[in-house]
């Protein structure tokens, strides 16, 4: 049997699996799977793709991401053909408890990353390919299966431009142009020249093929290996539902399985299926990346009397801790001189990646690095991380290990005005499953918390402040995820004031003023907003009669609500001072006053509660 004949046989089996699994589930996307069945068959089983099926985490495996995650039946079917899954398990696809979920997730260990929100897979591929080319220096290739509908997402073009910029000749996109979107035709139908022209103009090599010709597909994949200094897109003309006349190239069949009554005919149309066929994937070369051992990290060293912006301490910390975390990479969206990621860049340029003003792709690329075992730190203005919320969200379904830093938090940035102020970032990051949200107030706690983030596995976020703030802590002080610090307390405390970041300094000012009036308040530095230090809050709730939270953030989803949720069963009111008026330009102190989150507002609130 020739290779082409064999590929046809395998594709037939894969189509069979796609049909039976979706009909069994009663939902799912067989048509979007069938259009790409030949593409994936020729890729996986044609000899170019290298993957050790007995060791899916092999360092030098080629990588495959289904950016069109709804083609999950195909994904599962191909691994079934490769002998990794049994037909019985396919028949449980989409059922509760089965690892074969509706869209690919990490529950199935051959999935590199969860997909299903379109237009994200290429960014992940960029991260994996950048890791191979620039960090691990391994010869593996990364392949991303893309749908034509999702090419409308801007994130695709962010990934496309960055892939070309970084000359990722180890990255191949396979664009399944099946003409039909969810509710009808795409913008360009089967006009492949549109994709060809655009991708060429963005610096990619393009190869246009008939996506159902095994010969053309195989030949295109072989060609990609020889392209140097740029990524390649294989642009394939395909038909949705290919191979089953009931559904082939028919509108109205997106996300619909063939009915039980029609299944027999559909399968018959495929021709005889050989379930015993051995579909083999070529093995990768057994090479590994050079790794460097972790070295001891020095303690931070700030003079106690100085003021340092926490954003600057973030940059200092990245540089300081890198020897202890040799898997670190740092990404920034063209503002490294504002986030101070540039301090790291200047010291370790090989581990810094300029991602330009394209936050979505930055987050997706970070996920790619994370998938390959790196520890990505990702920074931009807190406000602009909202741009990547969908990518951040999807990270939680991919076991992402990503450390986000949002600088320029809150109205305290001053003159630049509302558009630049991060005022919803805490809410955004809190609403990520098992996330960590940190908001330090001085350089030393920032340094220590950046270190904690590096050692923590998961999605964490640190919020930094534009302006310089006084050092509050000793260089040896310890800070932990889930911790807090009681900075002022006495047996006479009447009220507890809880701040973090810039507002903690306002709370301390308020403390000093109130002390003159013989009013004692407890002041807590809630540097870990999630997880939150329940014990310290409970103690304060027992000791004082009210809480005042004060935050440079909108009132919803921030510190006030985090505190309320933590102590909901305790009978203590939580008064929240937060940003509630339309933010504007002005001096930082003016804006803190205007929003009633300055020491004045705290003092006034305390007095009203005495």
Provide the annotated active-site residues: 359
Q: Compute the half-sphere exposure of residue 504: CA atoms within 13 Å on the CB side of its CA.
A: 26
First to last CA, the chain: 89
Of residues 322 and 381, the one with the C-beta less far from its own copies? 381
Tell me the C-alpha distance between 411 and 465, whole Å: 10
Tell me the C-alpha distance between 52 and 213, whole Å: 26
Report in angstroms how near the CB of residue 247 gets to its own copies at its nearest: 16
Task: Judge contact between 46 and 218, C-beta under 8 A.
Answer: yes
Tell me the C-alpha distance between 586 and 209, whole Å: 58
* Angle in degrees, 0-180, between the axes of helices 214-224 and 37-45, rounded to the nearest 10: 50
Give the sign of the dihedral formed by CA 483, CA 487, CA 488, CA 491: positive
Report in angstroms how near the CB of residue 446 gets to its own copies at its nearest: 21
Of residues 326 and 531, the one with the C-beta less far from its own copies? 531
Strands (E) across 349-401 are located at: 352-354, 375-381
Of residues 475 and 555, the one with the C-beta less far from its own copies? 555
Report in angstroms how near the CB of residue 229 gets to its own copies at its nearest: 15
Report in angstroms how near the CB of residue 31 gets to its own copies at its nearest: 14
Of residues 59 and 198, the one with the C-beta less far from its own copies? 198
Tell me the C-alpha distance between 152 and 187, whole Å: 8
Of residues 348 and 356, the one with the C-beta less far from its own copies? 356
Task: Judge contact between 428 and 461, C-beta under 8 A.
Answer: no
Report in angstroms how near the CB of residue 69 gets to its own copies at its nearest: 6
Tell me the C-alpha distance between 213 and 218, whole Å: 8
Report in angstroms how near the CB of residue 106 gets to its own copies at its nearest: 9
Of residues 39 and 392, the one with the C-beta less far from its own copies? 392
Task: Judge contact between 23 and 103, C-beta under 8 A.
Answer: no
Report in angstroms how near the CB of residue 162 gets to its own copies at its nearest: 8
Burial (Cβ within 10 Å: 0-12, 13-18, ≥19) of residue 173: buried
SS3 call for 444: helix
Tell me the C-alpha distance between 32 and 568, whole Å: 47
Of residues 107 and 299, the one with the C-beta less far from its own copies? 107
């Amino acid at each position: 049997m020739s290779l082409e004949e064999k590929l046809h046989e395998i594709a037939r089996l894969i189509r069979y699996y796609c049909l039976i699994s979706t009909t069994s589930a009663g939902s799912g996307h067989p048509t979007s799977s069938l259009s790409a069945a030949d593409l994936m068959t020729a890729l996986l089983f044609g000899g170019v793709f290298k993957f050790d099926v007995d060791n899916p985490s092999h360092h030098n495996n080629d990588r495959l991401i289904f950016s069109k995650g709804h083609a999950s039946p195909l994904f599962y079917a191909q691994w079934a053909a490769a002998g990794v899954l049994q037909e019985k398990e396919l028949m449980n696809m989409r059922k509760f408890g089965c690892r074969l979920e509706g869209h690919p997730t990490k529950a199935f260990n051959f999935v590199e990353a969860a997909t299903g929100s379109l237009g994200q897979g290429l960014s992940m591929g960029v991260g994996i390919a950048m890791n191979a080319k620039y960090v691990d220096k391994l010869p593996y290739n990364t392949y991303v299966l893309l749908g034509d509908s999702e090419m409308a997402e801007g994130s695709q073009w962010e990934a496309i431009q960055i892939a070309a910029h970084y000359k990722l000749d180890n990255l191949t996109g396979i664009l399944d142009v099946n003409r039909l979107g969810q509710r009808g035709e795409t913008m360009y139908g089967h006009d492949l020249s549109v994709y060809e022209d655009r991708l060429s103009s963005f610096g990619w090599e393009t190869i246009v093929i008939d996506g159902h010709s095994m010969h053309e597909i195989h030949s295109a994949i072989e060609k990609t290996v020889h392209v140097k200094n740029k990524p390649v897109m294989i642009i394939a003309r395909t038909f949705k539902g290919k191979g089953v006349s009931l559904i082939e190239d028919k509108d109205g069949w997106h996300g619909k399985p063939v009915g039980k009554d029609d299944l027999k005919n559909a399968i018959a149309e495929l021709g005889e299926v050989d379930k015993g066929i051995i579909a083999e994937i070529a093995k990768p070369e057994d090479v590994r990346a050079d790794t460097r051992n972790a070295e001891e990290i020095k303690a931070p060293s700030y003079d106690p009397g100085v003021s340092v912006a926490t954003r600057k301490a973030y940059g200092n910390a990245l540089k300081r801790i890198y020897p202890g975390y040799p898997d670190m990479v740092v990404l920034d969206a063209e503002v490294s001189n504002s986030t101070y990621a540039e301090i790291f860049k200047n010291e370790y340029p090989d581990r810094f990646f300029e991602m330009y003003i394209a936050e979505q792709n930055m987050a997706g690329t970070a996920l790619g690095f994370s998938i390959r075992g790196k520890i990505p730190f990702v920074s931009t203005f807190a406000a602009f991380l909202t741009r990547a919320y969908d990518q951040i969200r999807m990270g939680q379904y991919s076991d992402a290990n990503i450390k986000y830093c949002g600088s320029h938090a809150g109205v305290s940035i001053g003159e630049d005005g509302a558009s630049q102020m991060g005022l919803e970032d805490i809410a955004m990051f809190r609403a990520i499953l098992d996330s960590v949200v940190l908001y330090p107030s001085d350089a030393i706690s920032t340094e220590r918390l950046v270190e904690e983030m590096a050692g923590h596995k998961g999605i964490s976020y640190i919020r930094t402040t534009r302006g310089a703030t006084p050092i509050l802590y000793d260089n040896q002080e310890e800070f932990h995820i889930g911790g807090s610090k009681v900075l002022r307390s006495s047996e006479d405390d009447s009220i507890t004031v809880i701040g973090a970041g810039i507002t903690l300094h306002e709370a301390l000012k308020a403390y000093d003023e109130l002390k003159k009036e013989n009013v004692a308040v407890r002041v807590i530095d809630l540097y870990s907003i999630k997880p939150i230090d329940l014990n310290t809050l409970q103690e304060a709730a027992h000791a004082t009669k009210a809480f005042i939270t004060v935050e440079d953030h909108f009132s919803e989803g921030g510190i006030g609500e985090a505190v309320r949720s933590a102590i909901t069963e305790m009978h203590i009111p939580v008064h929240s001072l937060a940003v509630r008026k339309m933010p504007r330009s002005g001096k930082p102190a003016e804006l803190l006053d205007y929003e009633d989150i300055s020491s004045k507002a705290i003092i006034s609130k305390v007095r009203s509660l005495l």
